[in-house]
Amino acid sequence: MFSPTFATYRVNATDDEHMSRVVMAWSITNKTVQPVFIAAAGFLAAVTSARISLIDLAWPCCPGSPPSLGEPTPRKRSP
């Protein structure tokens, strides 16, 4: 869902003269950054644990909820 939406935004926000450069830069970035982060996740999982690696790498996607390694906090019961 993100990629087609962002592609539409890029097309609308970029001048025609620069479109080929933007598409090429986006393609190169997608092909290099993804493997780097996969390798970083694998290294972090090898050094710590898979759970720590997943929490550490996924929490920026959920800015409203900080990572928690302990027991879940019980919900307050309403009267």
Residue 76 has pLDDT above 70, yes or no: no
Residue 70 placed within a domain: no
pLDDT of residue 56: 79
Residue 65 placed within a domain: no
Residue 72 has pLDDT above 60, yes or no: no
How many Å is the maximal CA-CA distance in the chain? 64
Residue 51 has pLDDT above 80, yes or no: yes
| Number of domains making up the chain | 1
SS3 of 18-58: the string is HHHHHHHHHHHHHHHHHHHHHHHHHHHHHHCCHHHHHHHHH
- In this structure, the number of other CB atoms found within 10 A of the CB of residue 3 comes to 9
Q: How confident is the model at residue 23 (pLDDT cuts 50, 70, 90)?
A: confident
Residue 54 placed within a domain: yes
pLDDT of residue 50: 86
Residue 74 has pLDDT above 60, yes or no: no
In this prediction the pTM is: 0.50
Query: 9 is in which domain, residue-wise?
Result: 2-59
Mean pLDDT of the residues in the chain: 77
pLDDT of residue 75: 54
